[in-house]
Structure 1
């Protein structure tokens, strides 16, 4: 699983651009209403965590995965797609506009649901893949 040179950083960079662009386009297509729950960022983070749970489980069970898949897809694409910074800013904006309950709910629900999605993805992927993906 060892890679050398600039291949890993390049894979992360390329994947990060792809993931960040997808996140940006979704944010433009589905903007949050002022003072409303930031659904787009919420679902981006939840779906990204779900996908990373599947990806890492599959890669952990693969006999000889390409050493660039995890940096490209996991760190790059899914790391660029999910966004802790936008979640943080949206939480502060909600509170700044006096929506304290919504800000608190969003601040608590987002990481809890995202981690639960990742755990569910790992469990389901292991169940579907059987012994191969339980390593």
Structure 2
């Protein structure tokens, strides 16, 4: 039950942070969705950092992992925002810009997640985790 509550509270925090970013960096439908891209790339870096560092500590409670991972990061970054941006760009005739956004989102996200994983492992003074599973105990 604690994990569900942590995800709900984390979701409120992540959604609030996302709203702040949306309001601070608004863009029209026909403009490049820089805010969506930056938010999702930062989320990839942050999740990699958490998995490489905090997740590797045996004392880290499952509810904290769930609250930060699925809750905060999961609600801060959204695939639906990426898809909505891609559809809006395509509708405005900016197919190449939509393709570039998708490419940067996927490749950049993977690169930053890997960088975050390395950074988290380095800061935690632990080797890179070979298995990031928590044996299904996230929720």
The 3 A distance-change label for structure 1 pair 25 and 10 is same
Secondary structure of the structure 2 residue equivalent to 1:68: helix
Normalized against structure 2, the TM-score is what?
Answer: 0.86
CA–CA separation in structure 2 for the residues paired with 1:102 and 1:88: 13
Which residue of the other structure, out of 32, 43, 47, is the alignment partner of 2:42?
47
- Please tell me whether residue 96 in structure 1 is matched to residue 91 in structure 2: yes
**Which runs of no fewer than 5 residues in structure 2 stay unpaired?**
130-139
Moved more, 72-81 or 115-124: 115-124
Which residue of the other structure, out of 117, 120, 123, is the alignment partner of 1:122?
117
- Please tell me whether residue 134 in structure 1 is matched to residue 116 in structure 2: no
Match in the other structure for 2:134: none
Which residue of the other structure, out of 7, 24, 28, is the alignment partner of 2:23?
28
Moved more, 73-82 or 101-110: 101-110
Q: Is the 8 A contact 2:117 2:128 kept in 1?
A: no
CA–CA separation in structure 1 for the residues paired with 2:73 and 2:83: 18
**Which runs of no fewer than 5 residues in structure 1 stay unpaired?**
1-5
Q: Is the 8 A contact 1:125 1:133 kept in 2?
A: no
- How far is 1:133 from its partner? 4.4
- Give the helix-richer structure, 1 or 2: 1
Moved more, 121-130 or 55-64: 121-130
- Please tell me whether residue 73 in structure 1 is matched to residue 107 in structure 2: no
Q: What's the C-alpha RMSD, in Å, of the aligned pairs?
A: 1.4
Q: Is the 8 A contact 2:121 2:127 kept in 1?
A: yes
